[in-house]
Each structure stands twice: as structure tokens, then as C-alpha cells.
Structure 1
Amino acid sequence: MGIVKISSEIHENIRVASKAMTRSINAQAEHWMKIGMLAERNPGLNYGEILSLLLREAEQSSQPENQNTPANTPPRAKPIQAQVTNAAARH
């Protein structure tokens, strides 16, 4: 873990947003940084598409891996960066 220096104005914006979204200040800052990073790396995706990919990854990563899953169960998703890059290539 590292320390990132930000302006007082941005800190206040993060504080307000974290309260509204019921996240810690650190979690809100990390969320915004992740969204911003993915948006810069994938300019063809909009905010909703990025959130959909993050939600899909979170859902899949929260399901325990089971060796006895039915044959028609889809495989787990690739890491988010691979998903986003592949999605951007389709646009």
C-alpha cells in the first residue's frame, strides 16, 4: 500500500461521494481510479459498459469453483483487463 497525495478539493469530492455510495474514502478513491484507468485504456467503452464488466467479474469471482459443475456451465471469465480489451476490440 502506498500514499497518494491529492488536492483538498479532490479529497472533499471523494469524501462526499464515499458517503453517498456508502464506501470508505479509500474504497471510493480506489473505485474512481479503477474506472478512470479502464476508461483510459479502453476509450471505446462507456461508463455503463465498464461497470457491467466489473459487475460480471465480481459475480464470477464470488462463485466458488466446483470441479463437479455441469457440462453446460460457462467457464469463468478472464481477468477484467482481458475482458475490457477484448470488448474494446469489438467496438
Structure 2
Amino acid sequence: MGIVKISDLMHENLRIGSTALSRSINAQAEHWMKIGMLAEIYPALNHQELTRLLMRVERDSGADLAQLLEQPSFTPQGIAQ
């Protein structure tokens, strides 16, 4: 666990997002970081596909994305099915 410094505006955005989506501020930040990381890794996927991918990762391994990306069988194909 570490400390990440963010701007006051981003903190306010996190507060609003976390309240709207019934998450803690930390959980909201982590969710946005996961989605952002996946969007950079898989730029061709849309938000719905990224969400499905995130759900698959969580189901299969507890969101250890680094471990999954090292597996040759890990591909985003079929995520939207």
C-alpha cells in the first residue's frame, strides 16, 4: 500500500463519483485506475468490454492483472459475448 498524491479537483471528483456509485473514495479511485490501465493496454475495447474484462479478471484471480497478462491464454477476445 502506498500514498498517491492527487489534486484537490481529482479528490472532489472521486468524492462525487464514490457517493454516486456507493463506493468508498479509495474504492472509486482504484476502480478508475483499473479501468484506465485496461484502456491503455486494450485501446480498441469500449467501456462495456473493459468492464466485462475487469469482472472476468476479478472472478478468475482477484484482479491480479500482471499475472494474467503474463499468461499466454489471456486475451480480450470474447469479452463482449
* TM-score normalised per structure 2: 0.73
In structure 2, list runs of 5 or more residues that go unmatched: none
Query: Percent same amino acid at aligned positions?
Result: 56
Greater mean deviation of Cα atoms: 5-14 or 51-60? 51-60
In structure 1, list runs of 5 or more residues that go unmatched: 63-77
Aligned residue pairs: how many?
A: 70
RMSD over aligned CA atoms reads: 2.1
Partner secondary structure for residue 76 of structure 2:
helix
User: Larger C-alpha radius of gyration, 1 or 2?
Assistant: 1
* Matches of 1:52 and 1:42, distance apart in 2: 13
* Matches of 1:59 and 1:37, distance apart in 2: 18
2:30 matched to which residue of 1? 30
* Structure possessing the higher relative contact order (Cα contacts under 8 Å, 6 or more residues apart): 1
* Matches of 1:87 and 1:60, distance apart in 2: 14
